[in-house]
Amino acid sequence: MQRTIRFDRRNETLIFGGTERRYRDAGFTLHASELASIKSTDFKAAMASYLDDWGDGTTEVYVVEGGYDEFDDEYSTPGPVTFVQHQGSLLVRVALLTKAHEDAEEGSPEPLYRSALAPYLARHRATLRNVEMVGNVAASPWIWDFDIECSLRLRTMEDLHEIGHGALALLDAVASGQLTRETTLDLLRAGHADVLIGQPEGPWLDVKSSHYDLDSTQGKISLAQSVSRFANAEHGGIVVVGMKGKKVPGGELIHSIHPVPVDGRTLRQYQSALEHHLYPPPDLLDIEFYETDGGGIVFLHVPPQPEELKPFLVHGAVVDGKAEGAFISVVRRRGEGSIPITAPAIHSTLAAGRALLRRGQIPD
């Protein structure tokens, strides 16, 4: 079978997709748009062939991410994700610019970086092989290199490049506090809820200082409504139980960690309450926890849901402080609050579905 990339020893070039790329002073250079067609196993073999002839055990391949029209394999500026062949291993190297120094008074940030990356890399069949602060400059920002080894099976170089960018986004979130739903989930799984302190609640994040009262119907309905708000929203969300919020002008900030009691029954109670009060069950809903001093943090992750499953209905409603089990409530998230989906919106959805069943088409 013909390889998707190879090293031509006679011409000292990489050959792929009808393109020849020569080694420059700094190394080989590829454009991000060229990676999808290159198998990672072929790339590793090509780099090994190059090193057999010319290398000393290590070489780097830089990836340019700008517009292809401006791409020049000798002069274009590479991006923050680089491929490194080192002692027989193919690594993805991520360069993080940060104000954190390895000799900082509060301690090196390396343990935080490592633990924050661990869940993300495990999910992507990857391992962190090395962390190092590089360069010798007198002031920030400093550069940290992270070398990641990925499973190459059935992966292209584009897959490895995307894993590198995901790791960089997570590291940026740890370093700067700018979080997304995905990076927040990875931080929670790594036991770093403290990174969320000072962050605002918003369209995809809600915190609660104590457990829902899952021994009461009202508490179960409240839990189902919290999850349904994110299930009915466009971007999903995360409910964190065990953190306190603080009202500020314009919204609410996460103020502190407030661990809650957690035992073997906790997650089963949450799951059971949702099974009985939320329909349909959200796709890929995760209910997880990690233990801390004096308790734990429970978090419920609601990924963005397929439109055909919406609206998510809650069996029951809380009216004037009382649980009404015979009611059906439908809520969704908007900003930091929740709004009920209107009666006309519910009716139009039901009418469209019935029309589709009867006539095979949706009316205008």
Number of domains in the chain: 2
Same domain, 170 and 230: no
State the DSSP string of 220-258.
HHHHHHHHHHHHSSSS-EEEEESEEEEEETTEEEEEEE-
What's 341's DSSP letter?
P
Q: What are phi and psi of 253, to 5 degrees?
A: -110, 150
- Identify whether 190 is part of a domain: no
* Domain extent at residue 249: 201-359
CB 269 within 8 A of CB 280: no
- Identify whether 185 is part of a domain: no
Q: What tokens appear for 34 in the block? A: 């060229």
pLDDT, tens only, 108-144: 889 989 988 998 999 899 999 999 999 777 778 899 9
Ramachandran class of 284: left when φ > 0, alpha when ψ lies in -120 to 50, beta otherwise: left
Same domain, 205 and 86: no
Alpha-carbon span 351 to 356, nearest angstrom: 9
- Identify whether 195 is part of a domain: no
% pLDDT > 70, the chain: 92
Q: Which of 145, 178, 211 is the last residue of a domain?
A: 178
- Identify whether 280 is part of a domain: yes
pLDDT, tens only, 23-75: 887 789 999 999 999 999 999 999 999 998 776 788 999 999 988 888 888 88
Same domain, 108 and 239: no
CB 259 within 8 A of CB 242: yes
Q: What is the mean pLDDT of residues 189-217?
A: 90
Q: What tokens appear for 332 in the block? A: 């969704």
Q: What tokens appear for 81 in the block? A: 């994700």
Alpha-carbon span 69 to 231, nearest angstrom: 41
Reported pTM: 0.74
Same domain, 173 and 272: no
State the DSSP string of 210-222.
S---TTSHHHHHH
pLDDT, tens only, 218-267: 999 999 999 999 999 999 999 999 999 999 888 889 999 999 999 889 99
3-state secondary structure of 163: helix
Alpha-carbon span 76 to 158, nearest angstrom: 19
What's 29's DSSP letter?
E
- Identify whether 66 is part of a domain: yes
Give the pLDDT of residue 336.
47
Model confidence at 339: pLDDT above 60:
no
Same domain, 23 and 162: yes
Same domain, 343 and 212: yes
Same domain, 298 and 157: no
Band of the pLDDT at 363, cuts 50, 70, 90?
low
Tokens 């590829």, residue?
30
Give the pLDDT of residue 333.
65
Give the pLDDT of residue 27.
85
Model confidence at 214: pLDDT above 90:
yes
pLDDT, tens only, 284-304: 999 999 988 889 999 999 999
> How many CB atoms lie under 10 A from the CB of residue 249?
4
Over the chain, what is the mean pLDDT? Answer: 88
- Identify whether 187 is part of a domain: no
